[in-house]
Structure formats: structure tokens, C-alpha cells
Structure 1
Amino acid sequence: MESSEISRIVHEVLASRGLVGSAPAIPSAEVAHVSGKTGRAAVLAEPRKLEIREFPLREIGPKEILVRVEACGVCGTDVHCYKSDPFGLTPNVLGHEGTGEVLQVGAEVKMDSVGKPVKVGDKVVTSLMETSPDCLIAKYNPAKANLSDDLKVYGLLPDEPNNHFNGYFGEYLIIRPGSSFFVVNDMSVELRCLIEPAAVVCHALERAKSCGGNKLNFRSRVVVQGCGPIGLLMIAVLRTQGVNNIIALDGNSDRLELARSLGADELINYKEYSGIDEIADKVKLLTKGLGAHWGFQVTGVPVAHANLYKLIRRGGGICEVGHFVDGGECAINPHRDICAKEITLVGSWVYNSFEYPNAYHFLQRAERIGLPVTSLITHKFPLERIEEAFQVNLRQEGVKVLVEV
């Protein structure tokens, strides 16, 4: 009997007793049994057309990991790709807010990106992939590697002839050399699926905190404009950082109530006001007549960005988080909106790999202080109903939609 077959049988016995991952490694790779040689994946064949296809599952290399996907959140970026393929990736497998269980570990892979040992049965998430050695941004300023033109993330990769498992909307994912990944065994699958969007808000918070004397602290009055998944997590991360005066602004009353549960002190439904001037008056009423110290723009709507300046006090700051695709332009008045107020304006673009541990600890901290972060997940669909999952997201029903594999 081959050693690989012995390893498979031993692993199955261990798994039946709840001891997956305890089997000793074999020289070529640590291996768990993979049923069959193929796997399903949801392919975005063209805009607005998702197809479940069966693909061969190739052998992994010595620096790779094979993951059985458990679930993945539907991100706004996925929806933009679904609608119009703005990055020119089709056909491809989307899904980057995912997590899964390790099935095989290449012989040269010993630990994750923070030094935790990795083995079969571990639960993992992935972050950014290594940029090209030719990228001068990443070479001379690694802390800004997120600005590289060569930035790569699983779920936003083109299809490859020898590997179709490049996104989490499939049964498997192959983690390739140069990828950052993290073992997160002590989290529920729902919480693991929130690590990626949590990294987005952790990065935005650090961008805002980097602005010299214009600090965020316990007494800061902050407006979060937009209560989608990222906006709601933005409220939660501000609360975990000790910000005690948070104003949530949105047009959906259900999402505003969820914002309250995640740490917002005041709620403003813009549909109840005649325009931005009335909303600005309300914000001033809640901020001693001055306006907010900071605003986080998380809607992805250009006019919302222009409106936010009206809600910020002189000497305040704005962090633009919402525009991950080109949504168009907006009109601002450089004198009134920026110069005369000495506004500090920062942009926030995705995250860096080293911010994943921050996101992990943020989510744990949020749960410890009673913020129901997993309540963001309002819908779950199996892989074969992924088209329905996307339609629910497009209709903005609920908040975070999860695809379970």
C-alpha cells in the first residue's frame, strides 16, 4: 500500500474522532483526502452571467496550500465586477471575503504569515499576494504596497489554464507562493468571513489617525456616511477605539438601527430632510454648533462625498473609503469646503497584509464588548444559488450576503 494511501486512511480515522490535523506529515506534503479529482466553481462568464462549472483539481506544489472553501461574503466590488467587469477579468471566479479548511500543505510551507504553524484541518483566510519585484512603490515603501499597480487578491484574478480555483466562490482555493495567509482556528466561519472587510476599516482608521494634530480620540465627534457593510464595520471599529460620539447617516431605517447596535449614538435618515443644508443643521445641533471633527465617507456615491464637507467643522477631517471603483465625479468648492476650513482629506485604498492581524483582533474585541458584528450577515445561500445571492445584494436587501460552499 502506498504511503499516501496510508496517510489518507489515518486521516479519515482521526477525522471521524474529531482529531483532524493530528496526522503526522509525510515527506512530500501533509495531505488530507480530497474526494475526486474535480471541483465546482461559480464562473463569471460575462457581465451578469454566473455559471457553475466543474474543473480538474491539479496537484499543489511544494510552496502551495489546498483549501476546501467553507464560505465567502459577497462584496460590493464583486457586484461591480458582476455588473460591468470594470477590471477586465472575465471569465474568472470571484470571491475574496472567504475562508476555508486546509486540505493539503506543500512540503515547504511550515507557518502562516505571522509565524503560526499550519497543518491540515486549520481554518485560514488569505490577504494580498506578493507584488512584482519591479514595483517601485512596494520596493521602497513596503507600508504602501497596497498602492502597487501589481496588487493581487484572490477573487480578483484572471482565470488560468492550469488553475481555475483562484477565488472563494468555488469548492477549492489554491494558495500560491507569495501569498499572505493566516490561521484563524478560534473564530466562527461568519466571523472569519468578516476579516477582509474588517481590514478595510482598520486601514481607514489608521489613515485617519495618521493626520498629525487632527487626532481621533474619546471626545471626537464623528460622522459615518453610509451604513452598508463597510460603514457599519467602520462604526464598530471606531467604537472599539473609544470614540464616544458617532453619528450614522443613511437612508435605510433598518441599517440605521443596526448602526445603533454597533456603536452609533445618533442616527440621521437623510430621507427625512429636505436637503444637505437641513442635514448639516442637524449635525451641528449634535456637535455643539460646530460640525463633526471627522467624517468617513463610505457610500461610493460621488454626491455624498461632496455633501460630507458641509458636515465637518473648521479644522476637521474627512476619510474617503467608499470609492473602490470609478463612480464618477462630483463638484466641491475648494475655497469653502477645503481651504477656508483647513480640512484634512485622506483617501483609504483597501489594506496591507499586516493589517489582517489588526482586523482579527478588532473583531474579537468587538464581540467582547458586546457589539454584534456577525449580525451584519443577514442572508446565506449555497453555491448553486449564487446568482440569487448577487440579486439580493443588488436589491440592497439585508446587509451582508454569504455564499456557503
Structure 2
Amino acid sequence: MNAAAMVLAAPRTLEPRELPLPQIGADDALLRVEACGLCGTDHEQYSGQLHPGHAFIPGHEAVGVIEQIGPVAAERWGVSEGQRVAVEVFRSCRECDACRAGTYRRCVRNGLTTMYGFVSVDTDPGLWGGYATHQYLAPDSMVLPVPEGLDPVVATLFNPLGAGIRWGATVPGTGPGDAVAVLGCGVRGLSAAVAAKEAGADFVMVTGAGERDRPRLAAAPDFGADLVVDVTEDDPIAAFRAATGRPGADVIVDVTAKAPQVVAQAVQLAAAGGRIVIAGTRGGGGAPGFEPDHVVYKELRIEGALGVDVVAYRAALDVLASGRYPFADLDRVTVGLDGVEDLLRTMAGEGGTPPIHGVVTPGR
């Protein structure tokens, strides 16, 4: 029996292929993929900005059902055959210093090199991403049980919501009384707003830019935003100060992509003693307008954040299952494998307004 998959053979070259299903041993498993979320990384892989230089099956936000699992893997992961799980993008040896400390994104055996959705299709068994009917789960995999009743398409938000929780609450230590500015209103920006409110923030501002972001800004109040600002029309710093009466934000979460000037804006917007989390990537080009002296005079803390951890993922699944926020009602486009290329182009801004949430359902 074979699995159907979409292989990114080269930038802008997605090819349908069939790959044989692997034999499962004691320490690994096979996932039947029900849904896989798409994010900015996906269309950057497709366009070539993040292409790893080899053919691979993309997709790193997979949710599905364990079709086969070995006894050692079942005991280690705490899951069983027939159970719905979410698959973490990073893998962990569970033995090195980084893994034992909980920072398994820096695992000496894995790290960035074995991330799901990036591994070469020529590395046996090839099924290393979510754009396929099946995904191989290697012994170092990290999986999370999905709560009963949570739709698998909605459950794919475990990844961006987990990111929002880590970036918007855990890393900056957001708490009661804080005023928070989330720069960027994609699904991770909306998730960071949720995380800030859940952590007790008094006030949350979310920013966006232009026509592409208008649907996202319109949705933001349902996800915890007290103020939304289109930066092509209004000065976010002036708007924040007018709305709060404060000189600056206690916490700033920058999830913008390819917007190097926003780093300078974050520094200007921060209150004395403020915490800035930079999670969006710039794509090079430095940070125009950045004034390092402001970091000194304000005694700012600036921290980069890469990826998520299991604590945030579990919290994300709990929030999704609770129904406290309308994640199920997000502007969403769901496609089969044959429609993923068109969806990637739309999400890359190559025609039409991109949805807030894009999902591929390989069995469709």
C-alpha cells in the first residue's frame, strides 16, 4: 500500500507522488493525516525563501490518527493505536542536556535538521511532512493527544496558538496589569492576543497593515484585542497612548514577517522596563530606524523566540477545546492535496485575499 503525497521538488514545483508505507517497529509509528495547517513558513518554502535545497514533503502542523504504533513508542508517548494526536515539529532525544532542560528545540541529535516538514524525501521512508495521507513518526517524535470532540481541522491551530501562548505570555512573563501590543495580526498575532488576555493583561492592541490585514483586524476583538490599528492609516504609538493614557506598552510581541522597520517601532512603543519578544523573521536587511540607546535608557529586555514547547502546545489544545474564543469560525480555506499549490500562492499574496487559516486535508 502507498501513501499519496505532494513533494516540493524545487521552489514552485509541487509534484504528486506515491510513496510506500513503511514497516513499523517497536519504537516508531504511522500517522494517518487528517489535516495539516499552513502558515507563512509553508509559502516561504514554496517560493524558495526557505527552501532547504532538497526535495521534501512540506507540512509541520499535522493532526491525525495513529494507524500503527510499536509498543515502546506507545509507552514513551502515552498514546495508542486509533488515537487522534497532534505532531510537534521538533523531535527530542530526551537524553541530552537541552532535552532534559525542556529546550528540546536545541536537541543535539535533532534540532533544526530533523524538523517535520523539512526532511528530504530521499531520507527513508520519505514521509516526513503533513502534505500526505500518511506521516512517519520516528522514535524521537513528540505527539500530543487531541481532546475528545475537537475537530481535526480546528486542532491544527495547536501550533500557532501554542506559539502565541509562548510568545505572548510565557516568554515575556505577561500578567495582570500589563498593557500589551501585538504587532502583526496573522493567526499567530491573534493567538498572542488571546494568550495575553488569558494571562490577565489589562489592555491589548493588535496592529496590521493595509487591505490584506483588514479581515484579520476585524476579527481581532473576538480574540482579546481592545484596540486594532491599521498602521497604513494611523500611528500605532499615538493610538496606543491615546487609548491607554500610558507612555508605552509593558509587553510587545512582534510577529510581523519581512518588516524590519517594526523592530524600531517596538523599541519606540515600549515603556521603561518593557519586554519585547521578536518572533517574526525579517528576511534580512537589518532594522531601519533602530536606536540602541533607547534600549539602554528604557532598560528594555529584548528576546528572540523560535518555536514552541510542549507546555504551550498542551495549553493551546485546552483553549481550543474550551471554545472560549471563536477559532472554529475563523476565515478558513480547506483544500485537498490537489488544491494546496493554489492555496499557497494565495497565502503568499499572489492573488486574492489570503484566509486567516489555511488547511490541507490529504484524504479529501
* TM-score computed with the length of structure 1 as normaliser: 0.80
Provide closer, same or farther for how the CA distance between residues 260 and 121 of structure 1 changes in structure 2, counting only shifts above 3 A.
Answer: same
1:146 aligns with 2:105: yes
Map 1:1-400 → 2, pairs under 5 A: 37-84=1-48, 86=50, 88-111=52-75, 113=77, 115=78, 118-127=79-88, 128-131=90-93, 138=98, 142-148=101-107, 150-151=110-111, 152-186=114-148, 187-204=150-167, 205-209=169-173, 216-251=174-209, 252-273=213-234, 278-300=235-257, 301-323=259-281, 326-331=283-288, 332-335=290-293, 337-365=294-322, 367=323, 369=324, 371-395=325-349, 397-400=354-357
- Alignment size in residue pairs: 348
**Large movers: runs of 4+ above 3 Å:** 147-150, 325-328
Give 3-state SS (helix, strand or coil) of 2:176's partner: coil
- The AA in structure 2 aligned to 1:162 is D
Does the 8 A contact of 2:86 with 2:145 survive in 1? yes
User: C-alpha separation between the residues in 2 aligned to 1:202 and 1:44?
Assistant: 31
Give 3-state SS (helix, strand or coil) of 2:17's partner: strand
User: C-alpha separation between the residues in 1 aligned to 2:243 and 2:297?
Assistant: 22
User: C-alpha separation between the residues in 1 aligned to 2:2 and 2:65?
Assistant: 17
Once the two structures are TM-superposed, the CA of residue 244 in structure 1 deviates from its matched residue by: 3.0
Provide closer, same or farther for how the CA distance between residues 163 and 344 of structure 1 changes in structure 2, counting only shifts above 3 A.
Answer: same
Which ranges of structure 1 fall in alignment gaps of 5 or more residues? 1-36, 210-215
User: C-alpha separation between the residues in 2 aligned to 1:377 and 1:100?
Assistant: 22
User: C-alpha separation between the residues in 2 aligned to 1:93 and 1:130?
Assistant: 20
Give 3-state SS (helix, strand or coil) of 1:129's partner: coil
Provide closer, same or farther for how the CA distance between residues 85 and 253 of structure 1 changes in structure 2, counting only shifts above 3 A.
Answer: closer
Provide closer, same or farther for how the CA distance between residues 377 and 255 of structure 1 changes in structure 2, counting only shifts above 3 A.
Answer: closer
- The AA in structure 1 aligned to 2:36 is C
- The AA in structure 2 aligned to 1:44 is L
Does the 8 A contact of 2:44 with 2:51 survive in 1? no
* TM-score computed with the length of structure 2 as normaliser: 0.89
* 1:144-175, Cα deviation, whole Å (9 max, x unpaired): 23244741321122223531211010010111
Once the two structures are TM-superposed, the CA of residue 289 in structure 1 deviates from its matched residue by: 3.9
- Percent identical pairs in the alignment equals 25
- The AA in structure 2 aligned to 1:191 is V
* 1:273-302, Cα deviation, whole Å (9 max, x unpaired): 3xxxx4322221122141211111010221
User: C-alpha separation between the residues in 1 aligned to 2:286 and 2:28?
Assistant: 42
Give 3-state SS (helix, strand or coil) of 1:109's partner: helix
Once the two structures are TM-superposed, the CA of residue 100 in structure 1 deviates from its matched residue by: 0.8
User: C-alpha separation between the residues in 2 aligned to 1:144 and 1:161?
Assistant: 26
- The AA in structure 1 aligned to 2:98 is A
Structure of higher CA gyration radius:
1
Once the two structures are TM-superposed, the CA of residue 110 in structure 1 deviates from its matched residue by: 2.8
Does the 8 A contact of 2:63 with 2:156 survive in 1? yes
